[in-house]
């Protein structure tokens, strides 16, 4: 079992969720054994629990109980957002302004993007 650190894996996921999916309600809590876990809710969905199992993040409650999530906190945050239908905030560009996400207001796809500027990429 992994030792619990001040900024352990669950705290990293919580920080990634707050940064990448700010509209999602996320809180870091501890269970009855004092093990950390993250509670997530979005609109009328949840609250559901996610925690680190020693090798990856895992849904602990809800319709996706025991489904694995990526081991990287940023990728897990994006996967959680996708699963519950929340938009992932784009990363700031070099100028400090976020790239627009997804298609334009008219519904048209803005066209090909390079991997460095693709707003559909994972939050990093």
Integer angstrom CA distances of residue 51 from 33, 55, 87? 13, 11, 21
What are the residue ranges spanned by the domains of the chain?
9-84, 91-119
Please indicate, yes or no, whether the overall pTM of this predicted structure exceeds 0.75.
no
| b/e sequence 72-109, b meaning 16+ C-beta within 10 Å | bbbbbbbbbbebbebebbbbeeeeeeeeeeeeeeeeee
What is the pLDDT tens value at each position of the chain, 124 positions in all?
444 456 799 999 999 999 999 999 999 999 999 889 999 999 999 999 999 999 999 999 999 999 999 999 999 999 999 999 999 887 655 445 554 444 444 555 444 444 444 444 445 4
């Amino acid at each position: 079992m992994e030792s619990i650190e001040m900024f352990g894996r669950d705290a990293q996921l919580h920080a990634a969720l707050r940064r990448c999916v700010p509209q999602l309600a996320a809180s870091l809590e501890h269970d009855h054994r004092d093990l950390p876990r993250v509670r997530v809710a979005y609109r009328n969905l949840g609250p559901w629990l996610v925690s680190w199992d020693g090798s990856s993040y895992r849904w602990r409650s809800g319709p996706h109980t025991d489904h694995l999530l990526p081991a990287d906190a940023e990728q897990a945050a994006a996967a959680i957002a996708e699963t519950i239908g929340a938009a992932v905030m784009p990363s700031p560009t070099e100028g400090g302004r976020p790239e627009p996400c997804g298609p334009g207001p008219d519904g048209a796809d803005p066209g090909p993007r390079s991997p460095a500027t693709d707003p559909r990429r994972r939050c990093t």
